[in-house]
Chains A and B, each alone.
Chain A
Amino acid sequence: MRILLVDDEAEFVSTLAERLTMRGYQADYSITAGNALDLAAKHLYDVAVLDMKMPGTSGLELQARLAEKHPAMRFIFLTGHGSEDDYSAGSRQAAHYLVKPVDINTLIAKINQTVFANDR
């Protein structure tokens, strides 16, 4: 399973990618939306974990652009902010909406759920 992680917090996203890799997932990460789009063009990702609030392009915009190019891709939003608007928008566009900090096992469970739904 190939996972794309996008977050402007490099320390967070790199560590998370490393931990997922240790658990046997193919995880790539990007700290900008542009880089994320490049990565998505090169590889086929089953699921993308996106930050809602990023400088420049917001998580929602990025999600729209990725979904346009890769209709099969599933999304999970991960954010430090829990505003009502973000929540309703995020849960409409993505399978899950999680608030940081999140336990890695919870994240993996959600990823599996999403991918499982995708396979079905």
Chain B
Amino acid sequence: MAPALLLLLAVFALPMVQYAWLSTQAQTVLTGLEPQPVGLAQWQRLLQDGRFWQDAFQTLRFGLCSVGLELVLGLAVALLLNQPLRGRTLLRTVSLLPWALPTTVMALGWRWIFNDPFGPINLLLAQLGLPTVSFLGDPSITWLSMVWADTWKTTPFVALLLLAGLQTIPADLYEAAALEGANRWQSLRRITLPLLSPYILIAVLFRLAQALGLFDLVQVLTAGGPAGSTESLALYAYINAMRFLDFGYSATLMLAAFLLMLLLSGGAVLLWLLSRPRLAGGQR
């Protein structure tokens, strides 16, 4: 047991401690890549760094939108897969495929699909006589294209998680509700959602954390562009370390992203705890 737990500490906890230390140092080309203590100067710089705030906003926007969308679509897919359909296993396999592919592989694929004007979506739009859309070239649209690609990839994960939750709900609850004259919408709201809420929470927590670490997709699909409109915190931290060789500031950014994630996860848990009595009330 000990070796595994030690390895876990070394891989997950130690870096955070190291970042905390490194965020009080300047380690750049100017310091000869040797760390020099600078107190809280890096944090001051962070607070005044417009690019940091923009990236934080963009990362949050991406995370909230894609996780929200994945929940809605995931629930729809889970409800579909929960029905006794012909070919359900095949359907489950097919819907799992997007999740299994490497992000960088499909990000490259999406770059072609979103192409303006030769990608299939724009070909279709042109066929219909509609104007083509610059999916990857327009700062106000590109982040939505990224949400789209991420939703495509991760909806299966959310769907399977919710499906596992759906399968724990006894069928007689629905039968009883139907006898009482509840329609499908009512039984979804009063039975399915309350009983599913722990699974929804797990999915939200997990997906939110992953979405805030957005890196693979943005690097291959847009490289942060156009005009920095899709850059994420992780990508900015990466650029600081690998391109600007500014390790102290990169560590500060990563720690800031981590704190942001903790804050958001805490918020999600709080929201769930607050809504629980109300949802439980809905069961009666």
Q: Do A and B share a complex? A: no
Chain A residues proximal to chain B, CB less than 8 Å:
none
Chain B residues proximal to chain A, CB less than 8 Å:
none
